[in-house]
């Protein structure tokens, strides 16, 4: 247990949305200013995983759960080497951390990593606003020299928008690296890092897969240089409409009929490779309680989501694509958004949500088994 | 998968009387389920002996049997109704055990009834500790984690003693199998404790089985609520974390939702284990809850237990999340899958998701130890609380402080003034879990304890402890500030401080704080419980307050009626009042009003978001109610606030609300005062020419003695300004009067003691009536079976009255009308009379809904609370007769001769309490109410109705066997006839020497047995207590005499409770029991639904 943050320490902070709505609270984490796309996440647990998820790059994340930081920060749960969120909005940050694995408080971690946040605002009002008006640009300002509201709004309006943003290269590894299989190695997978979360190669490694994580800039040749049994396209930030390079690589893989699996951004890339469009959701899916139906079995899984864009594919018909017939395999029951695609004539599938589930429920872990069986089938 | 088409009718079993561990939450669950099943077009057959429930309202099910929930009676219902299916998972342990019995004895097979919701194998796997251990092992084998505490199963005391060594020594936990609410379980720190707890546990367990377990005292405790459908979809509806670490029953713990001190990895582990367990156990369709313990040192997870049914926790989880578990469970049971069921709150999204909360929910238990001064108030794994309050806030501190003030108990809120006491002493006190431990912890913090010291003493999680420090720091800021500025006030309110607390710290009156606060514009907003943290728009106006920025109360057109509920269940103010509030809501909604319910009790139907047009889950304090009225006044017109249906809680707010300009409808606060103030009420009686027992008030022993000398002993003494007969006693002699006055802490010059003449041998009568200002509708007249002097809530009673004639009813009617008129009632009034000799005394009048309103309504098939609500808003009795809500002619005083007889019997919580030496508490009835619930027996004749009431409350009356009789001298004369009748029915009579002598002289043979005080005889003759423990006695009649805390016969009565032998403590009860035994021996007791009773009654009324 660490000592309490003093109540006297109350640097004011302001959150300004691009449509002019303003929330006033107190600084949390680093003091300064930050900009990004305001999105809300409804998960009640797993803030450490959320903060370190590269898909949140350039986003200011509003936590709907009021108490954040209670279990502090440990060294085992991060999903990448750093915090990626552009800013952090919470209602009631913890003053102490309580967990046998905790190493530091979240407040300390945010300060150390220079993440500007705000606390003490009506996060529910902000969430409702984003729900009604859609995700939008936002700025958080704290410390000395906060300007007038008009100045702040002007700054927010100068920040770049998420639509049209090509961000994968900014978050992905620059060098390829290998995550070894746990136990006996059974397969080799080339994983294109578009913002990959640490748990994803971990889930594969648990199943005897040696994962070669390649940079976002990897070419088809780079992929096949590792002699993969299967190819994986990861999650990642940004607008899939800009992801021309990964789409081209994916087409190369599809042409060679290598077993293929995509998650999140990887799903959107598969969609584009098959000729479907993508679009920006009004306020996205971010949380760990989303009901997704596997249309092949009719079963519903409770799943972790973090996506602001989605694939525009017909729900109830089989589509013809350059790689054979494709259909929507998974649908979100809340709003009928496409949550998964699969090819009927080829060993390729993808999901829009997060079966690696960090944070989140483990209901969809079977998808990694499905990937394994595709590779087994190919080998047989 | 849509609804099954092979089920046309379903039998639902309720949970019977309210007892500790099984309370109103099952009325909430059962009502939801019945409504859902009915809306699915199924014929719903319901059995529940508890008349105070909404579920037994005739419109909720198609055939409602207010009959005992025993395999015998339920079989009769099955034989008559021939249901296709039986849904046993919504009526608590009572329903589950009854269903298992009906399966085991072949009744279900015989009548081809399918168990739905959970099969027998699943129930056994979940409930049987050894089988469940196997389940956990199987789960561990599959997913690699989850384990049970090390344990041994024992069927004898020898097993128990040797089991301790197997586990590696003391302390150990003892858990009897198949008992509800953890009855009989506890921690044993040495062999003596072990023998006592395990001995009792072996007795309590229907399978004579207890489990001994390694101690995980002080670990973190969690609970998950899960649901599964026939497609094997599973969702976790809610996680609940206990503020009090392991060692305190979860029903007695302060609990928090969602879990606040778990990382996602740990939470997902619990979730994985939970899902694997529900699958392994095989709960096909429906809900279950699973409890876990986590070692705070290393995260080791232990699965404690599961309940394969809806539970108190699932009711709490439903209220906490807006996800109606029972309702969904009922749909799943008839074949739907989760994804086919829409989420009520959003309407657009399906139920196959997991609610996410953007607020914090805190539940705090309410205890009644003041009613059982001899009972040990230490909290253990046996549940002892009688009710609970829940509150929501946007953070923990706000929710916690709201919950504490919702308890409505002196000292339940944190106090920050006065000397806290000595730190070490406070820490030592806090180390033992008791009611109010959290307040002790706060005082320890004030006395300088560090977070580490608090943790070492209590093992309460450091995060929670820090929140208490935070509250204390805010209090310090409040105390230190020069003035109450807007920021400081807003900060205090955000951490849940009430105006009263702020006033106490600042030395200001509550109303002054409020005035300042309003002037500064610091007011709460109301947020919606929406299951989804605002991700989707909510269609259901289910609100809680918070000091945040944006309010979500929508404007409305129709005039609103705000109904104030009754708060946490407690002895004296239970589910009966919730019943009346719910009825008011239904009736006023139908009459075109927008109904707004305010309550903080998560167990109730009133806090179901389906019950009223709007629900505010808020404390029932003046501050909180005023803010709701303000918020609603901004939303649209307000027709008024109803205070007379929720019992003493809202009634106590009436005057202050009116003083603050709130329109109170129905009986005015001034009229309430007329009835409650002794002097004023005396004048009302005098004007009407009605007699009351002689009385006086005294502040010293000399004054009291003078009054008693004048009016004569025995006298009834009580402190003024108390509720539920608290501290009331019948005093037979001067010495006791002296010690009573000396012992009572409630008496002071400003709080005198009331001394009344006690009417020995009087018949007590309860009347419920409606009055609209001109016309009286006599709702019902109830004759108590026990004599006057036993609290009306603890007394059995019959309706129609058994021994009163037309002349008596006429007098009661005239007196009731005179009082209703004199007081100025507009709505319901309850009056207690005593008929002594030929004089009808008025004991007291309550110008509000009484505890007996649901009973009277069911017995006479007239919805009195609905009518009262309408009258409050201006309808007249004549109009309601014309509408058909009240009978066209006649009333509860003019029931036809062949009307059914209804008997109400109170249910007492004796078996729950032990004194600090582990002995039972005495079971004698008195003027202080101690029952937790009631049952109703209804039949065409009194004897059968009485027998049913006993079967429903305590188990069937014996029809043969051995009866032990020992009565006080004053009862001996009245004993002869019923004792003879017992002998005539073939009972062998045993008696103590004095009683035996009287019986013999009257020609009744009785064998003399040794008193406990005489010890075992020279030839090993056992004492009566030994005979009871040996199961040799089937019926006990023991009326107490003597004075003081330990009345004669204490050992007999406590033995009776621990062995479950019927024990009658008044001669009048014996007389009634004899009639019941007579009816049972005549055989062939039938069952009849309330709907059939009503049809006959109405036909008779018409005819």
Asked if B660 and B683 sit in the same domain, the reply is: no
In the stretch 211-250 of chain B, residues with CB closer than 8 A to chain A read 231-233, 235-236
Is B294 inside any structural domain?
no
Q: Looking at beta carbons, which residues of chain B come within 8 Å of A40?
A: 533-535
Residue B560 Cα distances to B31, B585, B604, angstroms: 25, 11, 22
Is A85 inside any structural domain?
yes
CATH number, position A97: 3.50.30.20
Quote the CA–CA distance of B4 and A289 in Å, as a whole number. 28
Is A235 inside any structural domain?
yes
Q: Looking at beta carbons, which residues of chain A come within 8 Å of B451?
A: 1, 96
Is A177 inside any structural domain?
yes
* B764, containing H or E segment: strand B763-771
Is the distance from CB of B245 to CB of B220 less than 8 angstroms?
yes
Quote the CA–CA distance of A81 and A76 in Å, as a whole number. 11
* B768: alpha, beta or left? (left if phi > 0; alpha if psi -120 to 50): beta
Asked if B964 and B1078 sit in the same domain, the reply is: yes
Asked if B699 and B687 sit in the same domain, the reply is: no
Quote the CA–CA distance of B623 and B865 in Å, as a whole number. 27
Asked if A117 and A205 sit in the same domain, the reply is: no
Contacts of B314 (CB under 8 A, 6+ apart): B25, B29, B225, B237, B287, B289, B325, B326
CATH number, position B171: 3.30.1490.20
Last residue of a domain, one of B845, B877, B899: B899
Is the distance from CB of B965 to CB of B990 less than 8 angstroms?
yes
Q: What is the ipTM of this complex?
A: 0.96
pTM across the whole model? 0.94
Asked if A127 and A17 sit in the same domain, the reply is: yes
Residue A291 Cα distances to A27, A361, B325, B531, B785, angstroms: 35, 11, 17, 13, 58
Residues of the domain holding A322: 168-379
Asked if B1074 and B971 sit in the same domain, the reply is: yes
B394–A91 CB contact, under 8 Å: yes
Comparing CB atoms, the residue among A42, A100, A288 nearest residue B297 is A100
pLDDT of B722: 62
- Give the residue ranges of chain B where pLDDT is below 70: 1, 180-182, 721-725, 745-747, 1041-1048, 1103
Asked if B537 and B646 sit in the same domain, the reply is: yes
Map tokens 């003081």 to a residue: B1044
Interchain CB contact of B549 with A (< 8 Å): yes
CATH number, position B826: 3.30.470.20
Comparing CB atoms, the residue among B452, B473, B532 nearest residue A42 is B532
Torsion of CA B405, B411, B413, B418, to 10 degrees: 150
CATH number, position A292: 3.40.50.880
Structural tokens at position B763: 């018949």
Is B138 inside any structural domain?
no
Quote the CA–CA distance of A223 and B883 in Å, as a whole number. 81
Measured between CA atoms, the residue of chain A closest to residue B235 is A302
DSSP strands (E only) in B547-659: 560-564, 594-599, 614-617, 638-642
Asked if B636 and B702 sit in the same domain, the reply is: no
User: Which of these, B308, B309, B300, lies nearest to B140 by C-alpha position?
Assistant: B300
Map tokens 């729950």 to a residue: B912
Burial class (CB in 10 A: 0-12, 13-18, 19+), B1097: buried
Interchain CB contact of A22 with B (< 8 Å): no
Is A130 inside any structural domain?
yes
Asked if A229 and A350 sit in the same domain, the reply is: yes
Is the distance from CB of B29 to CB of B117 less than 8 angstroms?
no
Quote the CA–CA distance of A333 and B338 in Å, as a whole number. 11
Last residue of a domain, one of A128, A158, A188: A158
Asked if A80 and A149 sit in the same domain, the reply is: yes
Asked if B827 and B845 sit in the same domain, the reply is: yes
Residues of the domain holding B509: 396-519
Quote the CA–CA distance of B1011 and B1014 in Å, as a whole number. 5
List, for residues A136-175, the tens digit of each pLDDT value.
999 999 988 788 999 999 999 999 998 999 999 999 999 9
Asked if B883 and B740 sit in the same domain, the reply is: no
CATH number, position B103: 3.40.50.20
A334–B349 CB contact, under 8 Å: yes
Map tokens 């969904």 to a residue: B328
Interchain CB contact of B349 with A (< 8 Å): yes
Asked if A86 and A26 sit in the same domain, the reply is: yes
Quote the CA–CA distance of B386 and B909 in Å, as a whole number. 9
Interchain CB contact of A121 with B (< 8 Å): yes
Asked if A313 and A240 sit in the same domain, the reply is: yes
Measured between CA atoms, the residue of chain B closest to residue A77 is B265
Task: Write down the mean pLDDT value for chain A.
Answer: 95
DSSP strands (E only) in B940-1093: 962-966, 988-991, 1007-1008, 1035-1038, 1063-1064
Last residue of a domain, one of A130, A158, A186: A158
Indicate which of A102, A282, A300, A360 best probes the interface with B, i.e. most B CBs within 10 Å of its own CB.
A300
pLDDT of A1: 35
Last residue of a domain, one of B726, B754, B782: B754
The packing angle between helices B92-104 and B120-127, to 10°, is: 130
Quote the CA–CA distance of A189 and B289 in Å, as a whole number. 41
Asked if A118 and A218 sit in the same domain, the reply is: no
Is A2 inside any structural domain?
no
Asked if A185 and A325 sit in the same domain, the reply is: yes
Burial class (CB in 10 A: 0-12, 13-18, 19+), B18: buried
**In angstroms, what separates the C-alpha of B366 from chain A's closest C-alpha?**
27
Is B222 inside any structural domain?
no
Asked if A143 and A198 sit in the same domain, the reply is: no
Asked if A140 and A174 sit in the same domain, the reply is: no
Is A5 inside any structural domain?
no
Quote the CA–CA distance of B865 and B1094 in Å, as a whole number. 17
Asked if B464 and B594 sit in the same domain, the reply is: no
Is B963 inside any structural domain?
yes
List, for residues B249-282, the tens digit of each pLDDT value.
999 999 999 999 999 999 999 999 999 999 999 9
B360–A48 CB contact, under 8 Å: no
Last residue of a domain, one of A140, A158, A176: A158
- Give the residue ranges of chain A where pLDDT is below 70: 1-9, 380
Q: Looking at beta carbons, which residues of chain B come within 8 Å of A71?
A: 261-263
Asked if A89 and A182 sit in the same domain, the reply is: no
* B286: alpha, beta or left? (left if phi > 0; alpha if psi -120 to 50): left
**In angstroms, what separates the C-alpha of B214 from chain A's closest C-alpha?**
22
User: Which of these, B857, B830, B794, lies nearest to B66 by C-alpha position?
Assistant: B857
Is it true that the peptide bond before A359 is cis, omega within 30 degrees of 0? yes
Is A302 inside any structural domain?
yes
Q: What's the domain count of chain B?
A: 7
Contacts of A162 (CB under 8 A, 6+ apart): A37, A58, A59, A135, A238, A239, A280, A308
Is the distance from CB of B176 to CB of B210 less than 8 angstroms?
yes
Is A4 inside any structural domain?
no
Asked if B460 and B600 sit in the same domain, the reply is: no
Asked if A106 and A175 sit in the same domain, the reply is: no
Interchain CB contact of B462 with A (< 8 Å): yes
A94–B263 CB contact, under 8 Å: no
Is B1014 inside any structural domain?
yes
Is B255 inside any structural domain?
no
B296–A291 CB contact, under 8 Å: no
Comparing CB atoms, the residue among A98, A299, A302 nearest residue B461 is A98
Q: Looking at beta carbons, which residues of chain B come within 8 Å of A299?
A: 231-233
Quote the CA–CA distance of B567 and B602 in Å, as a whole number. 9
Is the distance from CB of A128 to CB of B534 less than 8 angstroms?
yes
Asked if B743 and B861 sit in the same domain, the reply is: no
- Could you say which DSSP state residue B914 is in? B
Asked if B426 and B506 sit in the same domain, the reply is: yes
Q: What's the domain count of chain A?
A: 2
In the stretch 303-342 of chain A, residues with CB closer than 8 A to chain B read 333-335
């Amino acid at each position: 247990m660490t000592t309490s943050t003093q109540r006297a320490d109350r640097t004011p902070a302001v959150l300004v949305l691009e449509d002019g709505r303003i929330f006033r609270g107190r600084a949390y984490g680093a003091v300064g200013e930050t900009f990004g796309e305001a999105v809300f996440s409804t998960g009640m647990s797993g803030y450490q995983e959320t903060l370190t998820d590269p898909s949140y790059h350039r986003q200011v994340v509003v936590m709907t759960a009021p108490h954040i930081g209670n279990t502090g920060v440990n060294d085992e749960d991060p999903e990448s080497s750093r915090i990626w969120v552009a800013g952090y909005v919470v209602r009631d940050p913890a003053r102490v951390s309580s967990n046998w694995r905790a190493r530091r408080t979240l407040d300390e971690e945010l300060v150390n990593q220079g993440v500007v946040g705000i606390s003490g605002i009506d996060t529910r009002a902000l969430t409702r606003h984003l729900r009604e008006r859609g995700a939008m640009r936002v700025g958080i300002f704290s410390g000395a020299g906060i300007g007038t509201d008009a100045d702040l709004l002007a700054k927010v309006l100068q920040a770049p928008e998420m639509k049209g943003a090509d961000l994968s290269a900014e978050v992905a590894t620059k060098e390829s690296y290998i995550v070894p299989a746990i136990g006996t190695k059974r397969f080799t997978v080339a994983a294109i890092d578009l913002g990959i979360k640490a748990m994803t190669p971990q889930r594969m490694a648990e199943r005897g897969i040696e994962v070669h994580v390649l940079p976002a800039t990897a070419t088809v040749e780079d992929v096949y240089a590792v002699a993969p049994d299967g190819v994986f396209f990861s999650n990642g930030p940004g607008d899939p409409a800009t992801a021309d390079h990964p789409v081209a690589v994916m087409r190369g893989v599809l042409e060679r009929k290598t077993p293929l699996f995509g998650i999140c951004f990887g799903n959107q890339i598969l969609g584009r490779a098959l000729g479907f469009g993508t679009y920006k959701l009004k306020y996205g899916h971010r949380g760990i309680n989303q009901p997704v139906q596997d249309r092949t079995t009719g079963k519903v899984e409770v799943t972790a989501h973090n996506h602001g864009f989605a694939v525009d594919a017909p729900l109830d018909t089989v589509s013809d694509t350059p790689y054979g017939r494709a259909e929507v395999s998974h649908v979100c029951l809340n709003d009928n958004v496409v949550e998964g695609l699969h090819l009927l004539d080829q060993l390729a599938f993808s999901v829009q949500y997060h079966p690696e589930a960090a944070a989140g429920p483990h209901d969809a872990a079977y998808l990694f088994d499905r990937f394994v069986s595709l590779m087994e089938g190919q080998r047989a | 998968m849509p609804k099954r088409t092979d089920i046309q009718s379903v039998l639902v079993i309720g949970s019977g009387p309210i007892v500790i561990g099984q309370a109103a939450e099952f009325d909430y669950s059962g009502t939801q389920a019945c409504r859902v099943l009915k809306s699915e077009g199924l014929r719903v057959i319901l059995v529940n002996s508890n008349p105070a429930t909404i579920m037994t309202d005739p419109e909720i099910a198609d055939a409602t049997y207010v009959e005992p929930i025993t395999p015998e009676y339920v079989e009769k219902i099955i034989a008559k109704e021939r249901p296709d299916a039986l849904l046993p998972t919504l009526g608590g342990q009572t329903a589950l055990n009854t269903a298992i019995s009906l399966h085991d004895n072949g009744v279900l097979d015989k009548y081809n009834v399918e168990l739905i919701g959970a099969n027998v194998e699943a129930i056994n796997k979940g409930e049987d500790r050894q089988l469940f251990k196997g389940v956990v092992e199987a789960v561990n084998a599959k997913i690699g984690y989850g384990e049970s505490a090390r344990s041994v199963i024992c069927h004898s005391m020898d097993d128990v003693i040797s089991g301790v060594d197997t586990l590696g020594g003391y302390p150990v936990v003892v858990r009897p199998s198949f008992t509800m609410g953890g009855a009989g379980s506890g921690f044993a720190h040495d062999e003596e404790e072990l023998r006592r707890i395990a001995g009792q546990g072996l007795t309590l367990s229907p399978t004579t089985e207890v489990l001994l377990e390694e101690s995980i005292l002080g670990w973190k405790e969690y609970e998950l609520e899960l649901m599964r459908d026939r497609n094997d979809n599973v969702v976790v509806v809610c996680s609940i974390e206990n503020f009090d670490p392991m060692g305190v029953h979860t029903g007695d713990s302060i609990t928090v939702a969602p879990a606040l001190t778990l990382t996602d990895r740990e939470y997902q582990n619990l979730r994985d284990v939970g899902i694997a367990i529900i699958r392994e156990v095989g709960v096909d369709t429906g809900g279950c809850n699973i409890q876990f313990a986590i070692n705070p040192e290393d995260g080791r997870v232990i699965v404690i237990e599961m309940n394969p049914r809806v539970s108190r926790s699932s009711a709490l989880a439903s209220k906490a999340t807006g996800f109606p578990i029972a309702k969904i469970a009922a749909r799943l049971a008839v074949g739907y899958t989760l994804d086919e069921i829409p989420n009520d709150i959003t309407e657009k999204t399906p139920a196959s998701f997991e609610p996410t909360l953007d607020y914090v929910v805190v539940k705090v238990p309410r205890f009644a130890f003041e009613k059982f001064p001899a009972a040990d108030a230490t909290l253990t794994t046996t549940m002892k609380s009688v009710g609970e309050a829940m509150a929501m806030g946007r953070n923990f501190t706000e929710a916690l402080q709201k919950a504490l003030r919702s308890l409505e108990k002196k000292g339940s809120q944190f106090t920050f003034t006065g000397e806290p006491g000595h730190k070490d002493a406070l820490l030592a006190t806090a180390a033992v879990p008791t009611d109010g431990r959290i307040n002790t912890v706060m005082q320890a913090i004030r006395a300088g304890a560090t977070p580490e010291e608090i943790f070492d003493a209590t093992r309460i999680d450091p995060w929670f402890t820090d929140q208490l420090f935070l509250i204390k720091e805010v209090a310090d800021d409040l105390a230190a500030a020069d003035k109450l500025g807007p920021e400081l006030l807003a900060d205090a309110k955000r951490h849940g401080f009430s105006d009263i607390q702020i006033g106490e710290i600042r030395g200001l009156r509550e109303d002054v704080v409020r005035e300042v606060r309003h002037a500064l514009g610091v007011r709460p907003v109301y947020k919606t419980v929406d299951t989804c943290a605002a991700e989707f728009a909510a269609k259901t106006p289910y609100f809680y307050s918070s000091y945040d920025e944006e309010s979500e109360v929508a404007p409305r057109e129709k005039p609103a009626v705000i109904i104030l509920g009754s708060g946490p269940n407690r002895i004296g103010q239970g589910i009966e009042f919730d019943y009346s509030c719910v009825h008011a809501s239904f009736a006023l909604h139908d009459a075109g009003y927008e109904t707004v319910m305010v309550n903080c009790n998560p167990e109730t139907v009133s806090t179901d978001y389906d019950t009223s047009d709007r629900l505010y889950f808020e404390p029932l304090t003046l501050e909180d109610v005023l803010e709701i009225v303000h918020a609603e006044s901004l939303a649209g017109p307000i027709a008024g606030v109803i205070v007379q249906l929720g019992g003493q809680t809202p009634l106590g707010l009436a005057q202050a609300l009116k003083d603050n300009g709130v329109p109170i409808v129905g009986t005015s606060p001034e009229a309430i005062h007329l009835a409650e103030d002794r002097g004023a009420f005396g004048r009302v009686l005098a004007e009407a020419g009605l007699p009351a027992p002689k009385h006086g008030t005294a502040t010293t022993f000399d004054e009291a003695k003078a009054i008693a000398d004048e009016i004569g002993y025995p006298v009834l003494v009580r402190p003024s300004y108390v509720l539920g007969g608290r501290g009331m006693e019948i005093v037979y002699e001067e010495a006791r009067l002296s010690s009573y006055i000396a012992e009572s802490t409630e008496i002071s010059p400003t709080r005198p003691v009331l001394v009344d003449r006690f009417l020995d041998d009087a018949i007590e009568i309860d009347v419920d009536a409606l009055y609209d200002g001109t016309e009286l509708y006599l709702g019902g007249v109830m004759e108590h079976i026990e004599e006057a002097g036993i609290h009306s809530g603890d007394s059995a009673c019959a309706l129609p009255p058994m021994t009163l004639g037309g002349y008596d009813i006429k007098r009661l009617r005239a007196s009731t009308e005179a009082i209703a008129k004199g007081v100025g009632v507009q709505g319901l009034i309850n009056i207690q009379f005593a008929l002594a000799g030929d004089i009808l005394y008025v004991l007291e009048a309550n110008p509000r809904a009484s505890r007996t309103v649901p009973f009277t309504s069911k017995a006479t098939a007239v919805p009195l609370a609905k009518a009262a609500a309408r009258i409050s808003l201006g309808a007249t009795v004549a109009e309601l007769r014309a509408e058909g809500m009240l009978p066209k002619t006649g009333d509860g005083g003019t029931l036809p001769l062949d009307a059914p007889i209804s008997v109400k019997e109170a249910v007492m919580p004796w078996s729950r309490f032990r004194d600090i030496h582990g002995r039972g508490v005495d079971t004698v009835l008195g003027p202080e109410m101690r029952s937790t619930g009631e049952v109703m027996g209804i039949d065409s004749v009194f004897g059968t109705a009485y027998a049913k009431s006993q079967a429903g409350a305590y188990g069937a009356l014996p029809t043969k066997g051995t009866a032990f009789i020992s009565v006080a001298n004053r009862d001996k004369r009245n004993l002869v006839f019923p004792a003879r009748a017992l002998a005539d029915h073939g009972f062998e009579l045993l008696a103590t020497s004095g009683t035996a002598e009287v019986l013999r002289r009257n020609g009744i043979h009785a064998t003399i047995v040794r008193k406990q005080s005489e010890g075992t005889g020279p030839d090993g003759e056992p004492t009566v207590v030994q005979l009871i423990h040996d199961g040799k006695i089937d019926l006990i009649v023991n009326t107490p005499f003597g004075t003081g805390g330990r009345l004669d016969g204490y050992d007999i009565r406590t033995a009776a409770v621990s062995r479950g032998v019927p024990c009658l403590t008044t001669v009048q009860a014996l007389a009634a029991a004899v009639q019941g035994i007579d009816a049972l021996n005549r055989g062939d007791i039938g069952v009849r639904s309330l709907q059939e009773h009503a049809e006959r009654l109405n036909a008779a009324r018409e005819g």
